Homo-oligomer: A and B are copies of this chain.
Amino acid sequence: MKPWKQYTPELIVDLYELTMAESYFREGMTGESTFSLFIRDYPADRSCFVSAGLESLLQILPDFRFGAESIRYLVSLGKFSKGFIDYLRRFRFSGSIRAIPEGRVFFAQEPILEVTGPIIEAQVIETLVLNVIQLETMLASKAARVSSVASGKGLIEFGMRRTHGVDASLKAARSSYLVGFQGTSNLLAGKMYGIPVFGTMAHSYITSFPSELDAFHAFARAFPDNTVLLLDTYDCIAGTLKAVEVAIALREKGKKLLGVRLDSGDLTDLSRKVRLILDEAGLPDVKIMASGNLDEYQIETLQKGGAQIDVYAVGTRMGVSSDAPYLDISYKLVEYEGKPVLKLSTGKKTWIGKKQVFRFYGADGKMDFDRVCLLGSGKQEGEPLMELVLERGQRVRAPESLLEIRARFSEEWEKLPEIFKAVHHPGHIYPIEVCQSLKELDSKAARLKWHEEVEERLGNRMVAKR
Residue of B nearest to A4 (CB): B166
Is A443 an interface residue when CB atoms closer than 8 A count as contact?
no
Query: Which residues of B have CB within 8 Å of A244?
Result: 463-464
Contact with B along A227-253 (1 / 0, CB 8 A): 000001111101001101100100000
Given the known A-B contacts A79-B223, A346-B265, are A453 and B186 also in contact in the complex, defined by CB atoms under 8 Å?
A: no
Q: Which of B13, B187, B241 contacts A13 (CB 8 A)?
A: B187
The answer to whether B264 touches A346, judged by C-beta atoms less than 8 angstroms apart, is yes
Q: Which of B12, B201, B241, B264 contacts A188 (CB 8 A)?
A: B12
The secondary structure that dominates the A interface is: helix
Q: Which of B6, B14, B126, B185 contacts A187 (CB 8 A)?
A: B14
Residue of B nearest to A73 (CB): B191
Q: Which of B74, B201, B263 contacts A20 (CB 8 A)?
A: B201
Query: Which residues of B have CB within 8 Å of A190?
Result: 11, 15, 73, 77
Please choose the segment from A336-344, A376-384, A414-422, A425-433 that sits at the chain B interface, where 4 or more of its residues have CB less than 8 A away.
A336-344
Contact with B along A174-190 (1 / 0, CB 8 A): 00000000000111101
Is A123 an interface residue when CB atoms closer than 8 A count as contact?
yes
Q: What is the CB-to-nearest-CB distance from A68 to chain B, in angstroms, rounded to a whole number? A: 13
Q: What is the CB-to-nearest-CB distance from A1 to chain B, in angstroms, rounded to a whole number? A: 8
Contact with B along A149-174 (1 / 0, CB 8 A): 00000000010111111111101000
The answer to whether A208 touches B336, judged by C-beta atoms less than 8 angstroms apart, is yes
Given the known A-B contacts A6-B6, A326-B316, are A188 and B11 also in contact in the complex, defined by CB atoms under 8 Å?
A: yes
Q: How many copies does the complex hold?
A: 2
Q: What is the CB-to-nearest-CB distance from A27 to chain B, in angstroms, rounded to a whole number? A: 5
In Å, the complex CA distance between A325 and B139 comes to 14
Is A405 an interface residue when CB atoms closer than 8 A count as contact?
no
In Å, the complex CA distance between A77 and B194 comes to 11
The answer to whether B212 touches A456, judged by C-beta atoms less than 8 angstroms apart, is yes
Contacting residues of chain A (97-142) with chain B, CB-CB under 8 angstroms:
119, 123, 126-127, 130-131, 134-135
In Å, the complex CA distance between A327 and B317 comes to 11
Is A437 an interface residue when CB atoms closer than 8 A count as contact?
no
The answer to whether A164 touches B163, judged by C-beta atoms less than 8 angstroms apart, is yes
The answer to whether B191 touches A11, judged by C-beta atoms less than 8 angstroms apart, is yes
Is A407 an interface residue when CB atoms closer than 8 A count as contact?
no
Please choose the segment from A214-222, A299-307, A358-366, A392-400 that sits at the chain B interface, where 4 or more of its residues have CB less than 8 A away.
A214-222
Query: Which residues of B have CB within 8 Å of A74?
Result: 187
What would 20 more interface pairs be, CB under 8 Å, given A16-B199, A164-B168, A320-B325?
A12-B169, A14-B161, A14-B187, A15-B186, A19-B199, A22-B222, A22-B223, A74-B187, A123-B202, A127-B161, A131-B163, A131-B165, A164-B165, A204-B333, A234-B453, A235-B345, A236-B345, A242-B456, A245-B464, A317-B326
Point out residues on A near B: beta carbons under 8 Å: 6-8, 11-20, 22-24, 26-27, 29, 33, 35, 69-70, 73-74, 77, 79, 81, 119, 123, 126-127, 130-131, 134-135, 158, 160-169, 171, 185-188, 190-191, 197-208, 210-213, 218-219, 221-223, 226, 232-236, 238, 241-242, 244-245, 248, 263-265, 281, 316-317, 320-322, 325-327, 329, 331-333, 336, 341-348, 449, 452-453, 456-457, 459-461, 463-464, 466
For this complex, 10 residue pairs linking A to B, each with C-beta atoms less than 8 Å apart, are A11-B188, A16-B185, A16-B199, A23-B222, A70-B191, A123-B205, A135-B165, A164-B168, A166-B167, A213-B460
